[in-house]
């Protein structure tokens, strides 16, 4: 094992094909690592996510190939490590000039295809690199920040580009304008990629005007309905960092259906890259409903504690009996502090999905899955799990040991004593995100988001009213006629 800028990198040697080739597996935090089946709304989201992963892993990303449909829509896109491929030493008898970054036939890549349901889905994620990612130490950190896909505009160049940031055109068009003004690309002083990175950074900072408009929107909502509650926090630069809201209908719904809630933060919904953090539940029709919404600028324990405390202050009645989340350490810490009497259940689906990243365990996935879902008691689960581990020689697998040690947080036989509305995972929240994606996008300002979000909320509540109407006015059709006996 080798320390790589705080990231552990496993090194292997491919002795059969090339004894001199080392294979590197960057160990990056799970939330930043792509996986097969992962879904994105746009190709920009795909690039942003993979580039963030690359930044943590210590390599640079470049776009490699695209496939388009007959109408010009991109239906397949491939991103690769910047050291993919190889340089030819000669071209037409002349020595070809090499750039600063060499290519070493690296196979790391990410491939997405257009989904029939909209957006893009990851079909291939090659994690292994056939080169050394950036080394540790302070020098290594500086070099990582100089990699092409992570560079930023700085100094005078930033001032030159600033005037174009507010123009409603793409980064490519902005760069062409600058190149024209400067008399050619060679006179600009930075690349189009540098400008894209800086534009993305600026989008993460909330403009004061939009923040004021959001606050005015909340005040108007509260004037129309005193049952509407909100809380906004800003930093020393008066930019919004945290925001919470809940209307009267959502608060009333919590009074009836708030025993079990789901919390998930995997969806960015506005141009500032703030995290949409709704708290959801399930109604009597089995439909997903929203109890409250929030924007967070980060996913730290402090932000989650703030959100949960605001949630408790806004909602009638007691704290929820159970909350379902993924295995985020910050969430775990926040829930234990802000919701000490609420049972914290980990998402079973997320844990079982990690088997795909464990080569030794995936071969026995079906056995483990049946053990998890078909064990009727704790003793039965423990016995079946240990037998699978021993029979397949997995006693030394530390990951299996770790999820077994927290079985009281996610295994049905251990957690079914707490009412959870039939939910075992936070996929219910992800389906809610998919619903609201029909209304909102990452290009929305905060006020645009609220307007579109309310449209989605009205539609969701309309479906709930339709289900209520059906229950009240319609009778279920039975195969056998109902016979009333008179005695």
Most confident range, picked from 314-328, 347-361, 464-478: 314-328
Q: What is the mean pLDDT of residues 3-27?
A: 53
pLDDT band at 10 (very low <50, low <70, confident <90, very high): very low
Q: What are phi and psi of 77, to 5 degrees?
A: -140, 135
pLDDT band at 150 (very low <50, low <70, confident <90, very high): low
Task: Report the pLDDT value the prediction gives residue 160, as an integer from 0 to 100.
Answer: 45
Task: Report the pLDDT value the prediction gives residue 84, as an integer from 0 to 100.
Answer: 83
pLDDT at 428 over 60: no
Model pLDDT for residues 104-143, shown as the tens digit of each residue: 778 899 999 998 878 899 999 998 887 655 443 333 333 3
Q: Are 284 and 276 in contact (CB under 8 A)?
A: no
Task: Report the pLDDT value the prediction gives residue 482, as an integer from 0 to 100.
Answer: 60
pLDDT at 245 over 70: yes
pLDDT at 5 over 80: no
Task: Report the pLDDT value the prediction gives residue 220, as an integer from 0 to 100.
Answer: 86
Q: What are phi and psi of 302, to 5 degrees?
A: -60, -40
Least confident among 200-214, 229-243, 301-315, 349-363: 200-214
Query: CA-CA distance, 355 to 8, in Å (whole number)?
Result: 20
For residues 193 and 20, the model is more confident at: 193
Mean pLDDT value across the chain: 76
Least confident among 30-34, 298-302, 383-387, 419-423: 419-423
Task: Report the pLDDT value the prediction gives residue 145, as an integer from 0 to 100.
Answer: 41
Task: Report the pLDDT value the prediction gives residue 124, as an integer from 0 to 100.
Answer: 93
Least confident among 291-295, 310-314, 355-359, 391-395: 355-359
Task: Report the pLDDT value the prediction gives residue 112, as an integer from 0 to 100.
Answer: 94
pLDDT at 91 over 70: no
Query: CA-CA distance, 114 to 448, in Å (whole number)?
Result: 26
For residues 415 and 12, the model is more confident at: 415
Query: CA-CA distance, 290 to 460, in Å (whole number)?
Result: 9
Q: How far is CA 333 from each of CA 147, 300, 301, rounded to the nearest angstrom?
A: 35, 10, 6
For residues 145 and 175, the model is more confident at: 175
User: In the beta sheet, which residues pair with residue 67?
Assistant: 76
For residues 55 and 322, the model is more confident at: 322
Q: What is the mean pLDDT of residues 236-242?
A: 79
pLDDT at 97 over 70: no
Task: Report the pLDDT value the prediction gives residue 368, as an integer from 0 to 100.
Answer: 92
What the block records as the tokens of 315 is 């909602």
Q: Are 83 and 104 in contact (CB under 8 A)?
A: yes
pLDDT at 285 over 60: yes
pLDDT at 162 over 60: no
């Amino acid at each position: 094992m080798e320390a790589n800028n705080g990231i552990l990198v496993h090194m292997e040697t491919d002795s059969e094909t090339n004894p001199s080739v080392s294979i590197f597996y960057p160990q990056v935090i799970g939330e930043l690592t792509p996986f097969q089946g992962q879904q994105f709304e746009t190709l920009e989201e795909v690039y942003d996510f993979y580039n963030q992963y690359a930044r943590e892993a210590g390599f640079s990303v470049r776009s490699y190939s695209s496939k388009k449909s007959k109408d010009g829509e991109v239906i397949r896109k491939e991103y690769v490590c910047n050291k993919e491929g190889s340089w030819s030493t000669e071209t037409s008898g002349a020595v070809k000039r090499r750039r600063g970054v060499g290519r070493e036939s690296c196979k790391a890549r990410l491939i997405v295809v257009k989904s029939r349901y909209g957006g893009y889905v990851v079909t291939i994620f090659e994690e292994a690199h056939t080169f050394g990612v950036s080394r540790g130490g302070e020098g290594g950190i500086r070099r990582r920040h100089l990699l092409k896909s992570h560079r930023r505009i700085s100094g005078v160049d930033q001032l030159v580009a600033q005037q174009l940031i507010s123009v409603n055109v793409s980064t490519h068009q902005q760069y062409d304008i600058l190149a024209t003004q400067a008399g050619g690309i060679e006179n600009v002083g930075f690349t189009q990629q540098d400008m894209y990175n800086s534009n993305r950074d600026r989008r993460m900072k909330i403009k004061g005007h939009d923040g004021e408009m959001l606050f005015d929107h909340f005040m108007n909502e509260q004037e129309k309905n005193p049952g509407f509650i909100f809380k906004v926090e800003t930093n020393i630069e008066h930019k919004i960092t945290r925001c919470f809201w809940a209307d009267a209908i959502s608060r009333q719904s919590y009074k009836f259906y708030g025993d079990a809630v789901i919390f998930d933060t995997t969806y960015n919904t506005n141009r500032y890259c703030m995290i949409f953090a709704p708290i959801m539940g399930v109604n009597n029709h089995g439909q997903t409903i929203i109890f409250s919404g929030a924007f967070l600028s980060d996913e730290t324990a402090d932000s989650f504690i703030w959100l949960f405390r605001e949630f408790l202050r806004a909602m009638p009645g007691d704290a929820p009996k159970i909350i379902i989340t993924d295995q985020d350490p910050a969430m775990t810490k926040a829930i234990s502090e802000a919701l000490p009497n609420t049972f914290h259940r980990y998402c079973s689906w997320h844990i079982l999905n990690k088997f795909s990243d464990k080569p030794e365990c995936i071969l026995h996935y079906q056995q483990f899955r049946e053990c998890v879902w078909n064990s009727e008691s704790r003793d039965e689960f423990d016995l079946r799990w240990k037998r699978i581990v021993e029979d397949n020689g997995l006693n030394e697998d530390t990951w299996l040991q770790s999820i077994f040690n927290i079985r009281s947080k996610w295994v049905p036989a251990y957690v079914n004593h707490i009412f959870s509305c039939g939910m075992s995972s936070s996929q219910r929240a992800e389906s809610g995100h998919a619903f609201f994606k029909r209304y909102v996008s990452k290009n929305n300002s905060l006020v645009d988001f609220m307007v579109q979000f309310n449209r989605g909320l009205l539609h969701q509540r309309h479906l709930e009213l339709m289900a209520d109407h059906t229950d009240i006015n319609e009778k279920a059709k039975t195969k056998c006629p109902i016979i009333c006996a008179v005695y």
